Amino acid sequence: MALDDTKGLNSLGFAKPPSETRVVVAMSGGVDSSVVAAMLAEEGYDVVGVTLQLYDHGAALAKKGACCAGLDIHDARRVAEEMGFPHYVLDYENIFKDAVIDEFADSYLAGATPVPCIRCNERVKFKDLLETARDLDADCMATGHYIQRKMGETGAELHSAADANRDQSYFLFSTTAEQLDYLRFPLGHLKSKDETRALAAKYGLAVADKPDSQDICFVPNGNYASVIEKLRPGAAEPGEIVHSDGRVLGRHDGVIHYTIGQRRGLGIGGLSEPLYVVKLDVDSRRVIVGPKDLLATRTIPVREINWLGDGSFDAGAEHHVLVKVRSTRPPREAIIRPLSATEAEVELLTPEEGVSPGQACVFYESTGSRILGGGWIWRGH
């Protein structure tokens, strides 16, 4: 449906015909963003497709399950040709390296477990690309993310996707209110990925059966350590694996090979109790291991908070919410205690295991689907 006759607004929320509404579609070459572009083109919108080349063309050409390079650029261009709208490829390689890859490497070396996909959305797609969309005189920018934008009493609100299995709200918490005014997420209401693939088939798109992207786009096969070693040669210095009671249990080849909560592959066999990585001490090059109960965390310091709830985020107030501390974990009941406009202490009502610096802590309203913002976990317990 291109026009909402009850309000005189088109499906993107503008009081004018689709043909007079320009929308830039961020096209990764995958099925989701391709369907968004095809759907809007079919509805009659003035669609402009934009694909970002984020890292080296040659290295990524043959890689399956990546995005924003090689084959994906070709696939995005082909969709634009099939549907008859213009398509541009923008070389964002330097921006991506400066804004995402370098911080990922430095954060990992500092013992954190970073989430570069969030930084990419925040610093590249929803910042530089969004500015490009404005430069192209677009009324809005649409993406293939599974998240919903709904109008509330005070403006646009961010809500979880209808399909909980596809929901990407954890990766989009840092979207600002100003960006949300300009963004559109046409797939957020779909109940399953099958619906998206059915739409792709309906539009005759060659990417209808293309597999979903896996892993972080610039980290082949999920092997973080090998990427860090390439980016920061010599950074993986050996050191000791130490029990939380002080016993030295063995040696390791670099802190970057370990993550908080890890149990397998520690290289310290023959012990009677199962041990987990409970802390990474980068300064002394020590991997601290201990029993599972040491992983339980109740209080989490959070900073760089982006608040999307009603009213201001003021020190002294308390917010009873649900929070996610990992993208794969269900939301848990918590109390947010703001310390400033961008810092807070989050108290989990039930302790959570494996809370790691560098991960995001995302806030959800305790009843309903609204995302209230979130921030970054910044030191261990």
Question: Which positions are catalytic?
Answer: 120, 217
What one-letter code names the amino acid at 177?
A: A
Do the Cβ atoms of 168 and 145 come closer than 8 Å? yes
Separation of CA 314 from chain center: 26
* 3-state secondary structure labels for all residues of the chain: CCEECCCCEECCCCCCCHHHCEEEEECCCCHHHHHHHHHHHHCCCEEEEEEEECCCHHHHCCCCCCCCCCHHHHHHHHHHHHHCCCEEEEECHHHHHHHHHHHHHHHHHCCCCCCHHHHHHHHHHHHHHHHHHHHCCCCEEECCCCEEEEEECCEEEEEECCCCCCCCHHHCCCCCHHHHHHEECCCCCCCCHHHHHHHHHHCCCHHHHCCCCCCCCCCHHHCHHHHHHHHCCCCCCCEEEEECCCCEEEEECCHHHCCCCCCCCCCCCCCCCCCEEEEEECCCCEEEEECHHHHEEEEEEEEEEEECCCCCCCCCCCEEEEEECCCCCCCEEEEEEECCCCCEEEEEEEEEECCCCCCEEEEEECCCCEEEEEEEECCCC
CB contact set of 156 (below 8 Å; sequence gap of 6+): 149, 150, 177, 180, 181
Do the Cβ atoms of 255 and 227 come closer than 8 Å? no
CB contact set of 145 (below 8 Å; sequence gap of 6+): 32, 168, 171, 172, 185, 187, 188
